[in-house]
Amino acid sequence: MEEQLVRLTSDLVAIESVNPGYPSGSRGEGAMAAFVEEYCRQLGLDVQRQPVHPGRDNVMARLTVPGARQTLLFEAHMDTVAGDSMGERAWRPEVRDGRLYGRGSCDTKGSLAAMLVALELLLARRAELNMNVALLATVDEELQFTGIRHFVDSDERVEAAVVGEPTDLRVVIAHKGCLRVRVSTLGRAAHSARPEVGVNAIDHMADVLYALRGLQKRLPEREHPLVGSPTLSVGIIEGGTGVNVVPDRCTIDIDRRTIPGEGMESALVEIEALLADVRRARPDVRLELSPPTTDDWPLDTPVDAAVVQAAQAACRALGRPDALLGVPYSTDASKLWALREVPSIVLGPGSITQAHTADEFVPVAHLSAAAELYTRTALELNERVSGRS
Ligand SMILES: [Zn+2]
């Protein structure tokens, strides 16, 4: 199985599928989708495409079991970040010291390969199945999550999901969400020799930044057992046109990471309230809050969800740690959970430490372990589904 997985993962890595949102003439997920579609057809699965953007389709493959009322979804994204930092080696997969190197090897082509092999193993045990198993290969996870959003908005029904991301083969049930907003202060330009006739937008932004620091200091009081505390970071500040001009505009971009239990709405209201305080204290300050550029939900799958229990049982059966974890990064899983209440776990080969880096790799041993874990999780869930019906 290891040889098959190394070959399959290498084939996937060799297909450039950089998210076209990256500015390096990337090709998008089209060729990957064609490969996954063909591979699944060869296995004998029903395959459909879900057009998301022109030339960028999700691929959905189904192992349908007659009479089954539930569906387990395996999900992995096909896009990658840009390959620039890896140079020529990005699309030239190479196995060295027990590691398979290449862009996307751990994020998330290794997961996708392991899921394809798991489907093949499950096909061979089709007679034991009382539930359907489907594979969704999505577009655009790295930037806007429009692939999974498209699936979530469709009328497809699934009862549980395993999302492939590099978790070091650990079961992840929680992660943070993310809200990004821009705040602008608007003043009046004037000659810097006569600042009193202008209104300095940068000065006013200082009041906003001070108020935000107050919020920053309060956030550690909130804590989630698996993902820790929410955070707030101002990542970009822009303003002014010349040192001799009183600036009439200043903007900042805020990155606010939410924890399970914090609503997107409430995080936004909190920032609005703080801006209202600044306005009250300084009625001459004109402030604008732009609509969020990113609003992404946290993941908070209940520990007693059947898919969580099944994955833990699979870990134990295969002699792997079964403790449940939270991670700081975002995945497609939170959309399945927050928007459709599909209990979803994140589980996959490789480590997030290598994702997006110049040295991206997946340990070869993780690939077959992941395929075994996926297969076993499906079989454990199948027993639980059967037990209930
Ligand atoms: Zn990624």
Cα 308 to ligand 1 centre (Å): 23
Determine the Cα–Cα distance for residues 320 and 323; give it in Å rounded to an integer.
9
Determine the Cα–Cα distance for residues 244 and 178; give it in Å rounded to an integer.
38
Cα 16 to ligand 1 centre (Å): 15
Mean per-residue pLDDT for 151-169? 97
Cα 81 to ligand 1 centre (Å): 7
Q: Taking all residues of the chain, what is their mean pLDDT, rounded to a whole number?
A: 95
Cα 107 to ligand 1 centre (Å): 5
What percent of the chain clears pLDDT 70, i.e. is strictly above it? 99
Structural domain boundaries in the chain = 2-175+298-388, 177-296
Cα 167 to ligand 1 centre (Å): 12
Is the pLDDT assigned to residue 23 strictly greater than 80?
no
Mean per-residue pLDDT for 149-168? 96
Cα 379 to ligand 1 centre (Å): 28
pLDDT at 284 (0 to 100): 79
Is the pLDDT assigned to residue 295 strictly greater than 60?
yes
Cα 356 to ligand 1 centre (Å): 6
Residue 319 DSSP symbol: T
Query: Would you call 86 helix, strand, or coil by DSSP?
Result: helix
Q: Which residues pair with 271 in a beta bridge?
A: none
Mean per-residue pLDDT for 164-169? 97
Identity at 41, one-letter amino acid code? R
Q: What is the dihedral of CA 23, 27, 30, 35, to 10 degrees?
A: -130
Is there a contact between 36 and 117 (Cβ–Cβ < 8 Å)? no
Cα 37 to ligand 1 centre (Å): 22
Nearest partner of 257 among 204, 283, 294, judged by Cα:
294
Taking only the tens place, the pLDDT of each residue in 248-265 is 999 999 999 999 999 888
Q: Which residues pair with 54 in a beta bridge?
A: none
Cα 93 to ligand 1 centre (Å): 18
Cα 331 to ligand 1 centre (Å): 8
pLDDT confidence bin for 124, thresholds 50/70/90: very high
Taking only the tens place, the pLDDT of each residue in 129-138 is 999 999 999 9
Is the pLDDT assigned to residue 34 strictly greater than 70?
yes
Cα 353 to ligand 1 centre (Å): 11
Mean per-residue pLDDT for 289-296? 90
Cα 285 to ligand 1 centre (Å): 40
Determine the Cα–Cα distance for residues 237 and 38; give it in Å rounded to an integer.
47
Q: Which of 39-53, 256-270, 313-327 is the least confident region? A: 256-270
Cα 80 to ligand 1 centre (Å): 6
Query: Would you call 116 helix, strand, or coil by DSSP?
Result: helix
Is there a contact between 327 and 309 (Cβ–Cβ < 8 Å)? no
CB half-sphere exposure, 255, CA atoms < 13 A: 6
Q: Which residue has the tokens 């390959």?
A: 83
For domain 2-175+298-388, which CATH number applies: 1.10.260.40, 2.40.10.10, 3.40.630.10, 1.10.287.130? 3.40.630.10
Residue 169 DSSP symbol: T
pLDDT at 47 (0 to 100): 98
Cα 365 to ligand 1 centre (Å): 21
Determine the Cα–Cα distance for residues 72 and 132; give it in Å rounded to an integer.
6
Query: How many CB atoms sit inside 10 A of residue 346's CB?
Result: 29
Cα 141 to ligand 1 centre (Å): 7
Q: Taken in order 320, 322, 325, 327, is the CA torsion positive or negative?
A: positive
Could you give phi then psi for residue 171, rounded to 5 degrees?
Answer: -90, 120
Is the pLDDT assigned to residue 6 strictly greater than 70?
yes
Query: SS3 helix, strand, coil % of the chain, rounded to 5?
Result: 40, 25, 35
Is the pLDDT assigned to residue 2 strictly greater than 80?
yes
pLDDT confidence bin for 200, thresholds 50/70/90: very high
What percent of the chain clears pLDDT 90, i.e. is strictly above it? 89
Cα 330 to ligand 1 centre (Å): 9
Determine the Cα–Cα distance for residues 184 and 236; give it in Å rounded to an integer.
12
State the architecture of 177-296 in CATH terms: 2-Layer Sandwich (3.30)
pLDDT at 389 (0 to 100): 44
Query: Would you call 369 helix, strand, or coil by DSSP?
Result: helix
pLDDT at 325 (0 to 100): 97
β pairing state of 177-186 and 299-300 = unpaired
Taking only the tens place, the pLDDT of each residue in 183-197 is 999 999 999 999 999
Cα 246 to ligand 1 centre (Å): 42
Query: How many CB atoms sit inside 10 A of residue 8's CB?
Result: 21
Taking only the tens place, the pLDDT of each residue in 62-110 is 999 999 999 999 999 999 999 988 988 999 999 999 999 999 999 999 9
Taking only the tens place, the pLDDT of each residue in 346-384 is 999 999 999 999 999 999 999 999 999 999 999 999 999
Nearest partner of 352 among 150, 166, 115, judged by Cα:
166
Nearest partner of 72 among 133, 156, 138, 155, judged by Cα:
133
Determine the Cα–Cα distance for residues 158 and 161; give it in Å rounded to an integer.
7
Cα 204 to ligand 1 centre (Å): 37
Is there a contact between 164 and 348 (Cβ–Cβ < 8 Å)? yes
Q: Residue 310 burial by CB count (10 A; 0-12/13-18/19+): exposed, middle or buried? A: buried
Identity at 163, one-letter amino acid code? V
